[in-house]
Amino acid sequence: MNVIYNLPGLFIAIIFHELAHGLMAYWLGDDTAKNAGRLTLNPLKHLDLGGFLCLVIFKFGWAKPVPINPFNFQNRKKDTILVSLAGPLSNFIIAIIIVFVLSLNIITNAVFFKILFITLWYNIMLGIFNLLPFPPLDGSKIVASLLPNKIEYYFYKYERYLYMVLIVLIATNIIDKIMSPIIDVILNLLISIIG
């Protein structure tokens, strides 16, 4: 039954996150995502089966990355940062919208209320998780784009080792200890607005 409650929140968080990346890239001159059919709300275009199962089971996972060609941007570094921020920002915007809806006290159905609250949690979690500075997360692209070109080159050259760091952090549950307090602070702040 919990999976049924979780699925809408997962779909909303993942789909809008990936769509936001693709739309921002398109607005900045890169039509790679558009040509790949990723500017869509169709969940099948965005879901990675392994990442989705990890999200359901472990509460951490990933979607199918939106293809981006940063060399189509006018300003590669700045625009890469904007595209990377677009995904997490979409999650935070959705979280704020949900809090606004809940604050109106118009949701009287307990099941719908629970689904909305879980959707709120997933969007906060996904937004924060993707800002961590480990490949392949959005935060790593932001960090890399802020580095001088020579250091950026080595960052991408050796990013596969940073992948391993992220996997270890997830496997040892350290990532949960890092993120849980942040999620709780944001969630409690937003709940105080409702309450």
Catalytic positions, written as ranges:
18
Burial group, residue 1, by CB count within 10 angstroms (0-12, 13-18, 19+): exposed
Q: Which two tokens stand for residue 148?
A: 């001088």
> End-to-end alpha-carbon separation of the chain, Å?
27
DSSP 78-141: HHHHHHHHHHHHHHHHHHHHHHHHHHTT----HHHHHHHHHHHHHHHHHHHHHTSSSTTSHHHH
